[in-house]
Amino acid sequence: MAEGKCPICAGIAGIASLLPNQDAVRICCERCGHFYVSTSNRRFFEGLSDRNLLPFLSAHIRQNSGPSAPLVLRYEDWESHALAHKATPVSRKLDLTLRLMAQRSAFPGADVVFPYNDGPLIDAANEAEIGFLMNHLKESEFLDRRSSDDPPRKRYICVVSGKGWTRSEAQSTTGIPGRCFVAMSFDHSLDEAWEKGIEPALREDCKLDPIRIDKVHHNEKICDKLIAEIRLSQFLVADFTLHRAGVYFEAGFALGLGRPVIWTCRKDDLGNTHFDTRQYNHIDWESPEDLRSRLRDRVIATIPMLGS
């Protein structure tokens, strides 16, 4: 992998050419993460005069990719992805920052390092915004102290206070580690997508406990049981093939709880997704086997504290 410049943040990145007949490269950037970009799109981003949205595109890429599951960056939807992250409220950014600090603490009282390059993980636009968020958390006594290394190292060193731990734990939305709720149409045409794709990807490949509401024995009303199961789950997989209204509701409820959602849809039906959800990075699968492989990679790349 050759060293070059990331077309999104202009930082140093690894660049790998793909097969000769593929008009794209793979970018591995410490700030933006891992993604594929075509030659023409790479030139577009490098030559973009107004770069104000690009930090938020970095956030989208970083939060939706990993070494084993790079995101495919497309011209037609990059702006909507960036705008979605730009719209994150400051209160949400503060909660994300504090939660990330707590997750990175080896134990209460331990120093926590936050590099500037991790700004995309909290939807921060730049170093000034990171500094603002850190200062506010310190002034609110959620951090006991805050310091930064010399500018060349560009990182903060923090300690989460007792008050910070209390707030972080009170707002914890992790659910039961390893438990995953699956929202999808129960139409028989998707039986193989479940049996050969989603279930083995989660249960066999990732050693997780997938829950599909029609497979659970219960005595409650179905809506009560559904809500309870989503609350108990660490994250949710939502397959939008056939576009059942219930899947949209379940994904939205999970997002409201702060649960990660992995979005999937059969490729020939992807164009029918609702415009409110198109900005999310769907796994556009073509066969149950393709779905299994790509879902496994996405889970490994984006879901922390797996039960394996």
Q: Do 90-170 and 176-302 agree at the fold level?
A: no
Cα–Cα distance for residue pair 292/5, rounded to 1 Å:
33
- Unique residue bearing structure tokens 């770069």: 51
Residues 6+ apart with CB under 8 A from 292: 196, 197, 198, 200, 201, 205
Residues 6+ apart with CB under 8 A from 117: 11, 30, 31, 154
Cα–Cα distance for residue pair 187/93, rounded to 1 Å:
39
Phi, psi dihedral angles at 218 (to 5 degrees): -160, 165
The pLDDT of residue 74 is 85
Per-residue confidence of the chain (308 residues) as pLDDT tens digits? Answer: 899 999 999 999 999 987 666 789 999 999 999 999 999 999 999 999 999 999 999 999 998 787 877 888 988 889 988 998 898 889 889 988 998 999 899 999 999 999 999 999 999 999 999 999 999 999 999 998 766 655 555 888 889 999 999 888 766 556 787 889 999 999 999 999 999 999 999 999 888 989 998 765 444 445 777 888 898 899 999 999 999 999 999 999 999 888 899 999 999 999 888 877 877 889 999 999 999 999 998 888 878 644 33
CATH assignment, 90-170: 1.10.10.10
- The domains of the chain are located at 2-86, 90-170, 176-302
The pLDDT of residue 306 is 43
The pLDDT of residue 77 is 82
The pLDDT of residue 147 is 63
DSSP string covering the chain: -EEEE-TTT--EEEEEE--TT--EEEEEETTTEEEEEEHHHHHHHHT-S--TTHHHHHHHHHHT-BTTB-EE--GGGHHHHHHHHHT--HHHHHHHHHHHHHHH-SSTT--EEEEGGGGGGGT--SHHHHHHHHHHHHHTTSEEEEEE--TTT-EEEEEE-HHHHHHHHHT----EEEEEEEE----GGGHHIIIIIIHHIIIIIS--EEE-GGGS--SS-HHHHHHHHHHHEEEEEEE-TT--HHHHHHHHHHHHHT--EEEEEEGGGGGGS-TTTTTS--EEESSHHHHHHHHHHHHHHH--S---
So what's the architecture of 176-302 in CATH?
3-Layer(aba) Sandwich (3.40)
Compute how many other C-beta atoms are within 10 angstroms of the C-beta atom of residue 101.
23
